[in-house]
Amino acid sequence: MSHKDVVLYSIKNRIATIVLNRPESLNALNREVLEKLSAALEKAKKDQEVKAVIITGAGEKVFSAGADIKFLNSATPLEVRDLAKLAVEVTSKIESLGKVVVAALNGSALGGGLEIAESCMLRIAANHARLGHPEVRIGAVAGFGGTTRLPRLIGKGRAAELLLTGNSISAEEAYAFGLINRVVEPENLLLEAENLLQEILAQSPIAVTLTWEALHRGLNVTLEESAHLGADFFGLIASTEDFRTGTKAFIEKTKPEYKGK
């Protein structure tokens, strides 16, 4: 795979790793990057051997600085809207992939870059990373899903402060806000992401899938509907061989061997 590929794709140990690969442009998001990212996600979704996904950036300083500002400055309003709609489609695809997606933030995630991360199920950041929505500082709006997802992740008040001031926060602050799951040394970033996913993949595949679906769907319905959805899935999982295996192993104090049936 040549260095000119703006998105890199590889598979190892049932995990697909997708790399935003425009380090010379701070991994900025243009139409080509978003289209290639969408294609990589579709590939991971269709591949039965792929059970989870990591999205990261090339280089040591920046995950993604967000939308390509040079393009935004010269584009027509319709072109800007089309880019935003494409980005919304991509972030929705990440969120609804049906497989756990981890954003491994190798560096700063700003604007659209943070919106990519916000659409992932889990986020791990290198300790030098900074996160923020600086859109208002260039007279813009967080139009790739940030105004929707950030309040759901950290609450309306904290989200409003970040979105309205354009300030960025450290990885440690993001961890305290609940925006980041773990903060690690840069050299341990991908290993930590892989270990987290392997811990998830060691569980019953059916239980993981239904838990993921309950989380995803439950956020978009009422509290009562979400609770009933969880109850329905609890009853559904009781019909599986994995459920019997897991409960029996707990009783007998042995390690369960799940078959995904």
- Read off the pLDDT of each residue in 187-208 and give the average, rounded to a whole number: 94
Residues acting as catalytic residues: 115, 135
Residue 1 pLDDT > 80, yes or no?
A: no
- DSSP letters, 163-176, are HHH--EEEHHHHHH
Q: What is the pLDDT of residue 5?
A: 94
Q: What is the pLDDT of residue 112?
A: 96
- Read off the pLDDT of each residue in 90-96 and give the average, rounded to a whole number: 95
Considering the domain 7-201, what is its CATH architecture? Alpha-Beta Complex (3.90)
The reply to whether domains 7-201 and 205-252 share a CATH topology is no
HSE-up of residue 219 (Cα within 13 Å, Cβ side) = 14
- pLDDT tens for 208-236 read 889 988 888 888 888 899 999 899 999 99
Q: What is the pLDDT of residue 187?
A: 96
Which pLDDT band, with edges at 50, 70 and 90, does 260 fall under?
A: confident
* Contact call for residues 204 and 242 (beta carbons, < 8 A): yes
CATH fold label, 205-252: Lyase 2-enoyl-coa Hydratase; Chain  A, domain 2 (1.10.12)
- Read off the pLDDT of each residue in 184-207 and give the average, rounded to a whole number: 94
Q: What is the pLDDT of residue 90?
A: 97
Q: Report the range of poorest mean pLDDT among 71-85, 136-150, 244-258.
A: 244-258
Domain ranges of the chain: 7-201, 205-252
Residue 25 pLDDT > 50, yes or no?
A: yes
**H helices present in the chain, as ranges:** 31-46, 69-74, 77-95, 112-118, 146-154, 156-165, 171-177, 189-201, 205-218, 223-237, 241-252
The DSSP code for 109 is E
What's the whole-model pTM score? 0.92
Residue 135 pLDDT > 50, yes or no?
A: yes
CA quadruple 54, 57, 59, 65: dihedral positive or negative? negative
- Read off the pLDDT of each residue in 115-136 and give the average, rounded to a whole number: 97
